Amino acid sequence: MSDFTDLMRRRHTVRSFDQRPVEDEKLLAVLEAARWAPTAVNAQPQRILVLREPDSLDKVREFCTYGREGSNVSLAKDFDLPGTKHISLYYGAPVVLVVCYDRTACWSHPESGETSGPIDATIVATHMMLEATAQGLGSAWISYFDKDKARALLDIPADWEVCSMLYLGYPSAGERPAHASGTRCPLADTCFFDRVPTTDRVV
Ligand X SMILES: Cc1cc2nc3c(=O)[nH]c(=O)nc-3n(C[C@H](O)[C@H](O)[C@H](O)COP(=O)(O)O)c2cc1C
Cβ nearer to ligand X, comparing 8 with 28:
8
Closer to ligand X by Cβ: residue 110 or 182: 182
Residue 12 Cβ vs ligand X, minimum distance, rounded to whole Å: 4
Distance between CA atoms of 97 and 51, rounded to whole angstroms?
6
CB of 35 to ligand X, least distance (A): 21
Sheet strand arrangement including 95-102: 46-51, 95-102, 160-169, 138-142
Task: State the nearest-atom distance from the C-beta of 99 to ligand X, in Å.
Answer: 11
Question: In the 8-state DSSP scheme, what is residue 42?
Answer: G
- The CB-of-178 to ligand X minimum distance in angstroms stands at 6
* Residues near ligand X (CB under 6 A): 12-13, 15, 89, 140-144, 177-178, 181
Nearer to ligand X, 184 or 201 (CB): 184
Measured from the CB atom, the residue of 95 and 142 that comes closer to ligand X is 142
Distance CA 90, CA 142 (A): 9
- Non-local (6+) Cβ contacts of 13 within 8 A are 139, 140, 141, 177, 178, 181
Whichever of 15 and 61 has its CB closer to ligand X, that residue is 15
The whole-angstrom separation of Cα 109 and Cα 152 is 30
Query: To the nearest whole angstrom, how small is the minimum distance from the Cβ of residue 101 to ligand X?
Result: 15
Total residues found in the chain within this entry: 203
Question: What is the smallest separation between the CB atom of 104 and ligand X, expressed in angstroms?
Answer: 24
Cβ closer to ligand X: 12 or 149?
A: 12
> Taking Cα atoms as reference points, which of 162, 160, 139, 172 lies closest to residue 63?
162
> Residue 27 and residue 150: Cα distance in Å, rounded?
22
DSSP category for residue 186: -
